[in-house]
Chain A
Amino acid sequence: MTDRLRELDARVPHAPRRLRKPSAMPIITGSAATFAALLTFLAIQVRDGRDPALGAGKPAVAAAPQRRILLRRIEEKVIIKRVIPAPTPAATATASGAATSAAPSYTSAPRYSAPAAPARVYTPPPPAPAPVVTRTS
């Protein structure tokens, strides 16, 4: 057995032994794929609001709005003494006079008039009582 091997070995010409340089392509492809996968993962996380850089957990606290201080306010008090009711169609016709009533009518169908909304009567608050006064009696 040993001889046989020696014989075969002798027949095969021995080339000088060289280390083959590995190709860069797999490395580049693998790195790019890993990077893309990692980037995609992080992008999904950030999109979902789980930014790893910000940490997890705490609910967002809205910043308290800055207090506004009113230095001066001018209030105008309007006292409504008399409420003029909203004009009804009949009242409008009366008020607009003959010109309206003399206007040509192009249809014989009666005009639809929406029922007038009831006029809202403003009830003023009761007047403030007169102040109590101490005076010479």
Chain B
Amino acid sequence: MTEHDLTFRAMGCEVRLLIGPGLHQNAESAAAAARSARAYVEDFDRRLSRFRPDSELSALNADARATVPASPLLRAAVRAGLWAATRTDGLVNPTLVGALTRAGYAGSLADQQPASLREALAAAPPRHPARPHPDRAWAAISIDDAAGTISRPQGVALDTGGTGKGLAADAVAHRLAGRARFAVDCGGDIRVGGPDVAARPFEIEVEHPLTGECAHVLRVGSGGVATSGLNVRIWARADGGHGHHLLDPSTGEPAWTGLIGATALGRTALEAETLAKAALLSGPDGARRWLEPLGGLLVHDDGDVELVGPLRVAPRLRVRLPRRPAHLEVAA
């Protein structure tokens, strides 16, 4: 049984939906469910993009009031960013809009050719793990669902992009709860689900950030998978150096930690995305701690791929037969 397969562009990346049949007889067709999910993702993008001046997020950041009315979707997006900050103790920080703009990420880079990661690595400063910013500005943001408002300190702008794709994948997955099997891929942040997926897990290829080849294949029965890396949103700066979108919150500068990619498994796509970012920002040693409980994959600066946590496999036993038994057949 195959799933309806729909791919389109949104949120500055490629979104792919694989939707199986409904569990109930009167369920809408997979194609109709895919159209509905696409409309949801496009609406999500339109309302929450930092690069659209007419989005709700841009309106929130432009509002001078301390407390601003916000739609349920905007509140959910900000809450997801705060959840990620809490989970990582500020390493994944939704309040770095100013630093991102100063680093060169003021507009969407979706249509621009990324700079060479190899050249960037050769010119990058010494590696060290990123650290949370000591002022913890994100902790002062509050959401009031009863009043329908978001309150934040003056001058703090919010970027929900760091957790937006994972949140979108989870939200679409929630809408596909009546499907036998589905996968929602928002630019590499993936959520799979459905009762059939345990018996027929999705095989998810992990793309190597340097070679573009498949570094590993994950078999995911449910939950989320996400990858964070330096190879896409990376650009050359006027000073000869390179910038990318994963900033060290303590310095506001692009983080060079010894890792160029991290893939994380999570119970949701949001959790996987958060863990992947935290792992990449923490450097190899810290990344292993982040990925150990649920599993993940690290790609080091030299291109080496390291499996972490449950993905690590014991070395295979080599069994040498003393002599080939007569009943073994060798077919050409």
Residues of A within 8 A of B (CB): 66-74, 126, 129-137
A137 near B328 (CB under 8 angstroms)? Answer: no
A68 to chain B, nearest CB (A): 5
Q: List, in ascending order, chain A residues with CB within 8 A of B183's CB.
A: 132
Known A-B contacts A137-B13, A137-B232; the reply to A132 vs B185 at CB < 8 A is yes
Interfacial chain B residues near A73, Cβ < 8 Å? 331
Tell whether, in the assembled complex, residue B203 and residue A131 are in contact, meaning their CB atoms are under 8 Å apart: yes
B227 touching A137, Cβ below 8 Å: yes
Closest residue of B by beta carbon distance from A129: B5
| Contact yes or no, A72 B331, CB < 8 A | yes
Q: Interface size class for chain B?
A: 35 or more
A133: chain B residues at CB < 8 Å are: 185, 188, 204-207, 214
Residues B205 and A71 in contact, CB atoms below 8 Å apart: no
Interface of chain A, helix or strand or loop or mixed? loop
Minimum C-beta distance from A91 to chain B (A): 38
- Chain A nearest CB: distance from B64 CB in Å? 32
Look across to chain A and name the residue whose beta carbon is closest to the beta carbon of B164.
A137
12 more A-B contacts (CB under 8 A) besides A129-B2, A135-B232, A137-B227?
Answer: A71-B330, A132-B185, A132-B204, A133-B188, A133-B207, A134-B188, A134-B218, A135-B188, A136-B188, A136-B209, A137-B13, A137-B232
| Residues in A neighbouring B231, C-beta threshold 8 A | 136
Q: Is residue B309 within 8 Å, beta carbon to beta carbon, of the partner chain?
A: no
Q: How far is the CA of A59 from the CA of B203 in the complex (A)?
A: 51
The 10 closest A-B pairs by CB, nearest first: A137-B187, A136-B229, A135-B207, A135-B188, A137-B188, A136-B232, A134-B227, A134-B188, A133-B205, A132-B204
Point out the residues of chain B lying under 8 angstroms from A67, CB to CB: 327
Tell me, rounded to whole Å, the shortest Cβ–Cβ distance linking A70 to chain B. Answer: 6
Is B225's CB within 8 Å of the partner chain A?
A: yes
> B161 — nearest CB in chain A belongs to which residue?
A137
- For A70, list chain B residues within 8 Å (CB): 329, 331
